[in-house]
Chain A
Amino acid sequence: MKGIVFTEFLELVENKFGMEYVDDIISKSELESEGVYTSIGTYKFSEMVQLLTHLSEKTQLSINDLLHTYGLHFFSVLKNSYPDIIKQYETPLDLLNAIESHIHVEVRKIYPDAELPKFDVTNKESSKMTMIYTSSRGMYSFAKGLMESTFKHYGKEASIAITKLNNNGTEVKFDIQQHA
């Protein structure tokens, strides 16, 4: 997993809960990296799972809630790093529609070893669309947060309904309805 996901995560934890929380979840986890992350490195996903699990235990918030919050925050990271990509799309639905067909294609050019989730669009109309999220990481709540921030960025609102297609949430249906 890309280092920026770790550094941004820990920064968010520090901002929301304080440095003690960061120190706590790192000390409780068994990390190959010893909790040393840089945005340009690559680390094991299992480290993120441990950090999330310990944060969830300490805050009594569910992992999905934490991921959702993180997703809401992470959109701004992407917006700062890749403003030109986002500018290419006129509506939030256009952007979501292009994740698989265009954006991830570009990402793979920069990071050939990136392990990306899949977003298959099964239906797209002018104000609604349906996509199937597939990823071994089951981070669909993170995706949902990102989507909500996307709509917010364009000054739009939307309801995003989630249907888990299996128990561990590695396959999830997103029904997105944009409000007028």
Chain B
Amino acid sequence: MPNEQLQILQRALERERKARKQAESILEQKAMELYEVNQKLKVSNASLEELTHKQSSQLDGVFDNLLDAYILMNLKGEVIEMNRSAKQLFGYNLDFEHVNVVKLIYREDYQYAMQSYWQLINKGYFKDYKARVITKNKEVKQVHINAGLVYDASGKAIAAQGIVRNITEEYKEAELKKALLANLEKSNQELKDFAHVVSHDLKSPLRSMNTLIYWLKEDYEAILDENAKEILAKLSTKVEKMDHLIRGVLAYSSIDKVEHPLEKVNIQDLVSDIISVIYIPENIKVEIPKTLPIITGDRFRLQQLFQNLLNNAVLYIDKPKGWVKVTCEELKTHWKFYIEDNGVGIDKKYQKKIFEVFQSLQKSDHSTGIGLSIVKKIIDYYEGEIDFTSTVGEGTCFHFTLKKKHN
């Protein structure tokens, strides 16, 4: 072999050798890099695992501590998972038995349940399903369910989950309330009818009595002595009181019965009219220091309201110089009226009693005990409140509110 060719070969060999070493060292370096990356991966894997574990145990906690029952089922209705509340609600334990949700449906609600199931399959969810279910102990419970489909990574539905709330108690309560309300309405109506019938029936014999007393006085004027006449006069007064009573009952029972139209009522004029109509002894002055407002309401009821309160105020004044003041204050949503007097006053202990029907604090021929209960009823009707402040022997101030706008 020529020397030159040998040298070429030697150089080629040398290059190959160096190339091999270079490749080895590159690979060594790559291996080192791989090892380092691997170590880093291991660390981050470990922390990921820890995180996953933490999250899944958190989820388990949430899942089991949910007050509502949670059920996971496959698309055939076989229950895969139940939380603690679900086990308690339905009484089943998946560790020992298979449960299909069909078994839980109350027979009469079956069709509704199937409709909801189709909605779940087609739309992916249903909401506010309210129906009955049967537990393992054959108890019937009222439940509320929201449910949705569970999908795999490719978007295919693989299961359904539902949150089940036991609303048996609420349902029972609502049913009870409904029944009570219906009952109440019925007995209210009966009471009103009764009051009307009784009042009307009582009125005619009363009128007869009045006429008979009149005849007795007229026809036997000559024979009757003073004592008899006095008794007859008392009898007349009692009959008159009876008539007052009956009219009071009628008025009370018809406050929320007859619908009167709402109109603008000038309270200044209304109160002035009342003052001129009712009996006011000469020693008593009724004052309106500031012009009263015009408010929206039903004239008839407002008249009853003010007349009753003014009557009361005037009636119970025992001072030689009596006064009654009517004032008004405008609040945000209500009008507030004050009717103040310097009469006998009312003891605080009667506070609760005085607005009840047939409660009169003084035995009197004029008092029927219905007046303030009518007042209270009218104020309730206008969504207002009534109260009073009083010092016995010095006077009383009734104050009440009336709502400005009516629904």
Contact = CB atoms under 8 A, between A and B. Distances in A.
B19 A34 contact: no
Chain A interface size, as a band, is 10 to 19
A19 B11 CA distance: 10
Interface in A31-47: 34-41
A19 B30 CA distance: 32
A113 interface: no
Nearest to B18: A36
Given A19-B8, A19-B9, A20-B8, A35 B27 contact: no
28 contacts: A19-B8, A19-B9, A19-B12, A20-B5, A22-B12, A23-B8, A23-B11, A23-B12, A26-B11, A26-B15, A27-B11, A34-B15, A36-B15, A36-B18, A36-B19, A36-B22, A37-B19, A38-B19, A38-B20, A38-B22, A38-B23, A38-B26, A39-B23, A40-B23, A40-B26, A40-B30, A41-B22, A41-B26
A41 B26 CA distance: 7
Contact of A41 (B5, B9, B15, B23): B23
Contacts of A26: 11, 15
A34 B27 contact: no
Interface of A: 19-20, 22-23, 26-27, 34-41
Nearest to A37: B19
Interface of B: 5, 8-9, 11-12, 15, 18-20, 22-23, 26-27, 30
Q: Which of A23, A37, A41 has the most CB of B within 10 A?
A: A23
B141 to A, nearest CB: 59
A46 B12 CA distance: 21
Nearest to B14: A36
Contacts of B9: 19
A127 B18 CA distance: 48
Nearest to B27: A40
Contacts of B8: 19-20, 23
A121 to B, nearest CB: 33
Contacts of B26: 38, 40-41
A43 B9 CA distance: 23
A38 B15 CA distance: 10
Contacts of A38: 19-20, 22-23, 26
A23 B12 CA distance: 7
Contact of B15 (A35, A39, A40): A35
A149 B11 CA distance: 34
A19 B336 CA distance: 118
A34 B19 CA distance: 10
Contact of A34 (B12, B18, B20, B30): B18
B219 to A, nearest CB: 127
Given A23-B12, A37-B19, 8 more contacts: A19-B8, A20-B8, A23-B8, A26-B11, A36-B19, A38-B20, A38-B22, A40-B26
